[in-house]
Amino acid sequence: MTAPAITKPKALVGQKIKRKEDPRLITGTATYVDDIKLPGMYHACILRSPYAAAGIANINVAAALELPGVIAVYTGADVKKVGCVPCALTGDHVMLMPGTLSGLRVPEHTILAQDRVYFVGHPVAVVIATDRYIARDAVDRVEVDWVPGEAVAHPEKALEPDAPAVHPQWPDNVAFTYRQHNGDADQAFAQAEVVVKQRIVSPRLVACPMEPRGMVADYHKGEKSVTLYTSTQIPHLLRSIMAAVLGIPESKMRVIAPEVGGGFGCKADFYAEEALMCFVAMQLGAPVKWIETRREHFLSTVQGRGHVDYYEIAAQRDGTILAIRAKIIQDVGAYQQLLTPIIPILSVLMLPGLYRCKAFSAEVVGAFTNIVPTDAYRGAGRPEATYCVERMVDMLAAELGMDPAEIRFKNFIEKQEFPFATGTGLVYDSGNYERVLKQALDAVDYTALREEQRQGRTEGKLLGIGISTYGEISAFGPSPFTPAGGWESATVRIEPSGAVTVYSGIKPQGQGEETTFAQIAADQLGVGLDDVTIVHGDTAMVQYGIGTFGSRATAVGGTAMYLAIEEIKKKMCKYAENMLGSDDVSFVDGVCTCNKTGKTATLAEIAGTSYRAMKLPPGTEPGLTATTYWEPQNFTFPFGAHIAVTEIDPETGGVKIRRYVAVDDCGRLINPLIVAGQVHGGIAQGISQALWEEAVYDDSGQLLTGEFTDYTIPKAGMMPWMETSHTETPSPVNPLGVKGVGEAGAIGAPPAIVNSVVDALSHLGVRHLDMPLTPEKIWRAIQGGRA
């Protein structure tokens, strides 16, 4: 074993590499939940409430049971022994939280309605049949005697004194309150030279992943164990909760998340339907499948945003921001889902944005309404805050007659001030905010655009330039905001052949970690990209993990893998010492080399030996495996500057996005191609939120936008060309230097678009418009001169 000439492999980290997982995704060979067909499998269809608030006097299932092919019908009376859908926030977390969370009310959330329903779409009964069409037909034969009641479907109306009570035991509809303040905001407001106030709405949004929710539950009678295949972002947490809800030992519960066709946060939850299918499988001793229809998705999957916010910003005439005050009314919906109360608290944490100002005072009031609950949706609390702060900064600039770029430069935390402790209890890890904004301004040629805008106005043209400089909390570490745990895990195994298998606690839904994690691992081990396989999503295969949300997978899960590989490298050196007969061995690019003799042993040779050694070298164990749990000491804080240039048609109010420039910084880039894809997807959702999307409910709680004909989602042809670029400010929080990027675009885009449209109309006296900026709304603003 004399040293062969080693050609150093080209580093994969930093390369634009196409996603390894894509061929199976785009050729129809991937396995999603609906592809799972088990022998003897039944199909479920759920009867849902047509009322937002009603009593249930009686349910008659006889006619449904008579339909040939129907196996069983279960109602609320049958599931009384099953536990409730939980809210993750417990007393321990509340005590550790900055600020004060008080009066958290968690209604009993049974998996089927008992004697009342609380929202349209509330599950009331489930029909099990030999095929899904029979199950669907039988649902229409279930007779329910309803006693319709009064509903409330708007969070501000819900807080009015005479509003109908969503839960009769809490007539004020207050689900919780949260207060946090820092510095003397009141004094700052009293002494400020300028104060700007605005009511700002972030409407409810529907996540609309390409694959809706779906699950197959299977019961193994002999083992008394349950396997649940479900489209989830959090398989391990789901398993722990499910075992408790079903009252079975956790060791008898297995959760498998096969391919997940998008989640956007709505699948980082625990759903009544998941427990219901496990219950049915246990009752019948047979597998059962339920696949959500798109209409059900609109009605009964958690929604995002749902804020009515009152913001105030105090400043000096020179543009220095002195303090921010916010009252946030969060539309909770009818129940607290897993993370519902945490989401608006994240908005409070992000209140200062990228600005130095530390004085603030914020109050959140959670309001129960007769609508499906709100919870995480891409960005979860951070887009709401960023949108409001970025709107307020623009309004302040307009009030002061300052340029929106100039006011941002004046108030940015400067690069030498990092790590920077905000007034809200965070410590921003690293940043260079001036650089991203300068790069974005240069890219659009800002000065020339302003001149074009001035000229154009004389000819009646409406050109808008909207700036958004955003920050984000990503990769949550241990904190009250991660009641699940702020760590992530990885087991790395080098097989006897030298192939590398990584078992990760993360669960991608389209983010491409099978590629990026393989890039990191391949570089560390000096093997090829295809020598690395990333396994995820099966609680029986993967050690415990937390999952994929909050743009944490790479910074937390990737670091766990990186550290496990470092362990394995040490193990390999030990084996190589024995093989090469020297204790002076180092591992570089897949080969252990004896520094004295130049003799070498390759990774594959060492791996084979480690499994097959006749006699193990002292201080070693067979095989090359390491498991690491990594708990970061801080979050990471990505940031960026987005600029939208829009042209408004004065006759129709239509918006054309002429240019969209995004400069993002997510630390060290593992795969710029995947990062660009993540940014593009986020921007698409952000533009869509700004211009088109809104879940509209009438006063009786009926959803008026319950399908794709009246709820617009972004399509490729509706998107502008996105000019994306990056700066790289490494995070000191993890050895990879990475920050999250999965939510960046969704946070940066809405304020860029709205600021741009308002900028286009500002000379007409328009100061603010609420999303979505429909042509009608814009046209009316143009006609009225002032919104």
Using the rule CB under 6 A, which residue among 306, 477, 550, 701 binds ligand MCN?
A: 550
Beta bridge partners of 421: 427
Torsion of CA 303, 304, 309, 315, to 10 degrees: 180
Pairing verdict, β 359-368 and 321-333: parallel
CB of 235 to ligand MCN, least distance (A): 14
Using the rule CB under 6 A, which residue among 319, 510, 714, 751 binds ligand MCN?
A: 510
Q: Name the residue with the smallest CB distance to ligand MCN.
A: 742
Q: Which is nearer to ligand MCN, 668 or 767 (CB)?
A: 668
Cβ atoms of 266 and 209 within 8 Å: the answer is: yes
Q: Which is nearer to ligand MCN, 395 or 674 (CB)?
A: 674
CA pair distance 726, 629, nearest whole angstrom = 30
Q: Which is nearer to ligand MCN, 12 or 462 (CB)?
A: 12
Choices 123-131, 410-418, 673-681, 759-767; region in contact with ligand MCN by CB under 6 A: 673-681
CA pair distance 132, 380, nearest whole angstrom = 34
Positive or negative: CA dihedral 723, 724, 726, 732: positive
Q: Which of 542, 547, 599, 553 is nearest to 576 (CA)?
A: 599
Tokens of 244: 């408790």
Q: Which is nearer to ligand MCN, 261 or 319 (CB)?
A: 261
DSSP letter at 745 equals: H
Check binding of 740 to ligand MCN (CB under 6 A). Answer: yes
Cβ atoms of 60 and 73 within 8 Å: the answer is: no
Using the rule CB under 6 A, which residue among 366, 545, 742, 772 binds ligand MCN?
A: 742
Using the rule CB under 6 A, which residue among 99, 203, 265, 353 binds ligand MCN?
A: 265
Q: Which is nearer to ligand MCN, 703 or 741 (CB)?
A: 741
> Which ranges constitute the DSSP H helices of 229-373?
235-246, 272-284, 294-300, 342-349
Tokens of 278: 């496990």
* 550 backbone φψ class: left, alpha, beta (φ>0; ψ -120 to 50): left
**Helix, strand, coil shares, percent, the chain, to 5:** 30, 25, 45
Using the rule CB under 6 A, which residue among 76, 203, 263, 590 binds ligand MCN?
A: 263
Tokens of 299: 């009605």
CB of 156 to ligand MCN, least distance (A): 27
3-class SS at 10?
coil
Check binding of 509 to ligand MCN (CB under 6 A). Answer: yes
Using the rule CB under 6 A, which residue among 141, 236, 239, 552 binds ligand MCN?
A: 552
**Straight-line distance from the first to the last Cα atom of the chain, in angstroms, rounded to the nearest whole number:** 79
CA pair distance 362, 389, nearest whole angstrom = 13
H or E segment to which residue 659 belongs = strand 655-665
Cis-peptide into 39, omega within 30 deg: no
Check binding of 431 to ligand MCN (CB under 6 A). Answer: no
Check binding of 382 to ligand MCN (CB under 6 A). Answer: no
Check binding of 690 to ligand MCN (CB under 6 A). Answer: no
CA pair distance 184, 170, nearest whole angstrom = 34
CB of 253 to ligand MCN, least distance (A): 25
Which are the contacts of 648, defined by CB distance < 8 A and separation ≥ 6? 462, 463, 464, 654, 655, 656, 757, 760, 761, 778, 782
Choices 30-38, 81-89, 352-360, 738-746; region in contact with ligand MCN by CB under 6 A: 738-746
Strand locations in 141-270 (E): 143-148, 174-182, 194-206, 214-220, 225-230, 253-256
Check binding of 512 to ligand MCN (CB under 6 A). Answer: yes
Check binding of 732 to ligand MCN (CB under 6 A). Answer: no
Using the rule CB under 6 A, which residue among 180, 482, 551, 610 binds ligand MCN?
A: 551
CA pair distance 327, 746, nearest whole angstrom = 23
Using the rule CB under 6 A, which residue among 361, 422, 524, 548 binds ligand MCN?
A: 548
CA pair distance 632, 560, nearest whole angstrom = 10
Check binding of 470 to ligand MCN (CB under 6 A). Answer: no
3-class SS at 51?
coil
Positive or negative: CA dihedral 604, 605, 608, 611: negative
CA pair distance 241, 238, nearest whole angstrom = 5
CB of 350 to ligand MCN, least distance (A): 15
CA pair distance 111, 681, nearest whole angstrom = 33
Using the rule CB under 6 A, which residue among 17, 722, 738, 766 binds ligand MCN?
A: 738
Q: Which is nearer to ligand MCN, 76 or 381 (CB)?
A: 381
Check binding of 378 to ligand MCN (CB under 6 A). Answer: yes
Q: Which is nearer to ligand MCN, 340 or 554 (CB)?
A: 554
CB of 330 to ligand MCN, least distance (A): 19
Tokens of 617: 């070298």
3-class SS at 140?
coil
Using the rule CB under 6 A, which residue among 209, 214, 352, 748 binds ligand MCN?
A: 209
CB of 731 to ligand MCN, least distance (A): 9
Choices 56-64, 149-157, 490-498, 665-673; region in contact with ligand MCN by CB under 6 A: 665-673
CA pair distance 84, 674, nearest whole angstrom = 39
Check binding of 537 to ligand MCN (CB under 6 A). Answer: no
- Give the total of residues touching ligand MCN (CB under 6 A): 36
CB of 268 to ligand MCN, least distance (A): 8
Query: What is the footprint of ligand MCN within residues 572-601 (CB under 6 A)?
Result: none
CB of 546 to ligand MCN, least distance (A): 10
Q: Which is nearer to ligand MCN, 509 or 756 (CB)?
A: 509
Check binding of 262 to ligand MCN (CB under 6 A). Answer: yes
CB of 560 to ligand MCN, least distance (A): 12
* Residue 114 CB-density burial (10 A; 0-12 exposed, 13-18 middle, 19+ buried): middle
Check binding of 748 to ligand MCN (CB under 6 A). Answer: no
Q: Which is nearer to ligand MCN, 211 or 296 (CB)?
A: 211
Half-sphere exposure of 42 (CA within 13 A, CB side): 28
Q: Which is nearer to ligand MCN, 105 or 552 (CB)?
A: 552
CB of 555 to ligand MCN, least distance (A): 6
Query: What is the footprint of ligand MCN within residues 88-147 (CB under 6 A)?
Result: none
Check binding of 554 to ligand MCN (CB under 6 A). Answer: yes
Q: Which is nearer to ligand MCN, 43 or 726 (CB)?
A: 726
Q: Which is nearer to ligand MCN, 521 or 626 (CB)?
A: 521
Using the rule CB under 6 A, which residue among 336, 511, 610, 755 binds ligand MCN?
A: 511
CA pair distance 672, 43, nearest whole angstrom = 43
Using the rule CB under 6 A, which residue among 89, 322, 669, 679 binds ligand MCN?
A: 669
Q: Which of 475, 477, 497, 403 is nearest to 441 (CA)?
A: 403
CB of 285 to ligand MCN, least distance (A): 34
Check binding of 671 to ligand MCN (CB under 6 A). Answer: yes
CB of 205 to ligand MCN, least distance (A): 12
Check binding of 54 to ligand MCN (CB under 6 A). Answer: no
Q: Which is nearer to ligand MCN, 337 or 755 (CB)?
A: 337
DSSP letter at 474 equals: B
CB of 524 to ligand MCN, least distance (A): 15
CA–CA distance from 394 to each of 36, 397, 701, 759 (Å)?
51, 5, 35, 9
Count of residues for the chain? Answer: 787
Check binding of 741 to ligand MCN (CB under 6 A). Answer: yes
Return residues touching ligand MCN (CB under 6 A).
Answer: 209, 262-265, 378, 508-513, 516, 548-555, 666-671, 674-675, 678, 681, 738, 740-743
